[in-house]
Every structure is written in structure tokens, then in C-alpha cells.
Copies of this chain bind each other. A is one copy, B any other.
Amino acid sequence: MKIDLNKDVHASNNAKALEVHDFFNSKGIKIINLVGSPGSGKTTLLESMIKYHGSDDIGVIEGDLFGDLDHQRIEKLGVQSYQLNTEGACHLEASFLDEALNHFDYDKMKYMFIDNIGNLICIVSYYLGEDLRIIVSSTTEGNDKPYKYPKMFYTSDIVVLNKIDLLPYIDFDVKKFDKAIENFECQSIHVCAKTSENIDKLCEMIFNA
């Protein structure tokens, strides 16, 4: 008998992800899965959005291989957050979230962000129960990334092109990048998390949608 391990793993993960989705949905909480390369600026984007939107109704689950550097950053902003470590594994699975779920006070919460592991490949197929998947891609990674890692882009609802403050100093063909995103039929926005450029517009897309 040939067992399709991947298929089996994904079916089991999807079932668990739907449970996670129902858990948050029953509390009226929207789940947002933030994905992107290492260093694309996921955590800086979160910081910038929290500063603009406020910290009261937001929770954050931090995913990292090791350590709690990102958790420390988020906690400073007065946001409830919990650090998950995969101890070297390349992706979060829905079942990993159980550890975090009991940690939060959900009274005021309306939005739960999952700050996923830096990876454009393995996490594509691991649904975590999210209502919204947002990919953060930075200008410094190059305009070819949607062409080289298409699945991570076209499975996302919103593509955030980050670090547009660095455009004057690098070779980045914005039109070429945007063309790929158009073909994927994702929503798209250009921002700078560091300077907060267009963070108001991104918050409008996420919090008022």
C-alpha cells in the first residue's frame, strides 16, 4: 500500500484548522495569517499597524523556530501576544496553536494575527484557520519573487509590498512586480512599515473590511 503522507498530513491539518477557525469565529474574532520571507518586515508591519490602530482589540501569536525576539517587540506595545517555537521546523501547523489559545483574554479581542515563520514555500499548504492571508514582500528581495514563489503569493488575499522607502537606492521594477500580482487577482498595496507610509490604507483594508 502506498500512503500519500503529504495528503494525509494536510487533511489532518485542515480539519484542525477549521476547528481553530470556528473557535475564533464563535468569539467574533478575525484571524489574519502574516507570511513572507525572513526579514520581509512582518513584525515591523505589525508594530506599525498596532501603533496606528491601537492595541486593545488585537492579539498576536508569534511563530519562530527559536527564541522570543518578536514576542518581546510586540509585548512592548501593550498587545497580548504569545510566542510559539517550532524548534527548527519550517512551518506552523494548526495543531500547534492549541498551546497559545488558552493564553489570551478574549473579552475585547476582535483581531488575532499570526506572525508566521519566515518562509515562502512550506507554509503555503498549511492553512491555520485564517480569514485573511497577507504576504509581506519587501522591495529589497527583488521584483522577481512572485514569479519564483508563485504559490505563496496567489494563495494570499493581500500582497503588501514593503520597504518602498528604499526604492531610490535599489533596482526594483515596480511594474513587473505589480503585473504578477494582477495576474494572481490578489489585493495589493505598497507600504513602508518603518515610516508608516500607507499603513492607514492597509489598516482600512484589514480592520474595516
* Given A38-B120, A39-B138, A65-B149: 10 more A-B contacts, CB < 8 Å: A37-B37, A37-B141, A66-B148, A67-B148, A69-B148, A88-B121, A90-B90, A90-B122, A118-B149, A138-B140
Which B residues touch A144, using CB under 8 A? 69
Which B residues touch A163, using CB under 8 A? 140
Interface of A is mostly: loop
Q: Identify the stretch in A18-26, A52-60, A165-173, A196-204 within 8 Å (CB) of chain B at 4 or more residues.
A: A165-173
4 residue pairs, one from A and one from B, having the closest CB atoms = A39-B141, A140-B140, A90-B121, A37-B38
Which B residues touch A66, using CB under 8 A? 147-148, 150
Size of A's binding interface in residues, CB under 8 A: 37
Which B residues touch A169, using CB under 8 A? 165-166, 169
Chain A 142-160 near chain B by CB (<8 Å), digits 1 or 0: 1011011111000000000
**How far is it, in angstroms, between the C-alpha of A88 and the C-alpha of B148 when the chains are bound?**
10
A11 to chain B, nearest CB (A): 17
Residues 183-209 of A contacting B (Cβ, < 8 Å): 194
